Structure 1
Amino acid sequence: MTRTFMAVVAGALHRADGRWLMHRRPEGKHHGGLWEFPGGKVEAYEIPVQSLVRELTEELGIVCHSEGCSPAGFAESEADSGQPAIVILLYTVSAWDGEPQALEGGAIGWFTPAEALELRKPPLDIHLAGQLFQNL
């Protein structure tokens, strides 16, 4: 049986000062120049939180532990032009080791919820940010 969607994880890292990390996608990539929650594809051998830990190490150079990751919401797209639908699982991340860096190009920044909502984002990240920040 073939999977009809691609599972993706994303991490909403937050600091004690109330700021949240957003990652700007490198120019030349799909959604280049837009801001998103960092993360990536869930591999077939991983459960989502394991994938999140791996992706945050690869993208940001930090080490987080699964017990510091809490499910916060999800967003999904429709399949389009032969591409599978995407389901993004968003986790809040409250603790990690290391200082986040943009290791795969682009940039990172720390934003208040109001600032994060105003950033130009891909459609699914607009939805995720709305879910995450609606009660803050």
Structure 2
Amino acid sequence: MPNTVASKRVHVAVGVIYNPQGEILIARRHDDAHQGGLWEFPGGKVETGETVCDALARELHEELGIVVHTASCTQLLEIRHDYTDKVVLLDVWKVLKFDGEALGKEGQPLKWVQPQALPEYDFPAANVAIVDAILKLAD
């Protein structure tokens, strides 16, 4: 019998998006999605042949309608997290510059929050390390 965890691997580009006021954008996952109802940092799957930066820029444009200045992106950390149904590699990048106004183009609620307020929100287990890394940067 194949191991479903080993066979289901997902590489995800994640954006920790800062506005000029130093707030970070979070999005609430749809209730019917994996880890539904929890808050997350926007992003999406890296497609074959795509760089992580290109995937992040594409996903943030599709989900939020913003155009990322990829030169302003810096890698924050990588996280591998094993869920019961999949293994996720989160490639997390800080996004400091973008054009446009972030909108929930897929109907997802969005919120700009101060870094210190992130622990007040419920995130998927894989995102806890992201919140911790952001809080260390904010100190």
TM-score after normalising by structure 2 = 0.88
1:44 corresponds to 2:48: yes
Matched, 1:68 2:72: yes
Instruction: Please give the secondary structure, in 1, of the residue aligned with 2:97.
Output: coil
CA distance in 2, matches of 1:9, 1:110: 19
Kept in 2: contact 1:27–1:106 (CA 8 A) = no
* 1:121 corresponds to 2:118: no
The SS at the match of 1:70 is strand
Is the 1:33–1:106 contact (alpha carbons within 8 Å) kept by the matching residues of 2?
Answer: no
Bigger mean CA deviation after superposition, 72-81 or 101-110: 72-81
State the distance in 1 between where 2:104 and 2:65 align.
Answer: 8
The Cα shift of 1:119 comes to: 0.5
In structure 2, what residue type is equivalent to 1:135? L
- Greater fraction helix: 2
How far apart, CA to CA, are the structure 2 residues paired with 1:57 and 1:48?
Answer: 14
Q: Deviations over 1:57-87 (max 9, x none)?
A: 0000011121111101121112634x3x111
2:36 alignment partner in structure 1 = 32
Shift of 1:117: 2.1
Runs of 4+ in 1 over 4 A off after TM superposition: none
Give the deviation of 1:128 after TM superposition: 1.0
- Is the Cα–Cα contact under 8 Å of residues 12 and 91 in structure 1 kept in the other structure? yes
TM-score scaled by structure 1? 0.90
How big is the shift at 1:3? 7.5
What is the CA distance between 1:132 and its match in structure 2?
2.0
Which residue pairs with 2:103 in the alignment? Answer: 101
Q: Corresponding residue for 2:3?
A: none
Instruction: Give RMSD over aligned pairs.
Output: 1.7
Runs of 5+ in structure 1 lacking a partner? none
1:7 corresponds to 2:40: no
Q: Kindly state the Cα deviation for residue 135 of structure 1 after the two structures are TM-superposed.
A: 3.0
Provide the rounded CA distance (Å) in 2 between the counterparts of 1:5 and 1:27: 22
User: How far 1:7 moved relative to its partner?
Assistant: 1.0
Alpha-carbon distance in 2 for matches of 1:78, 1:51: 22
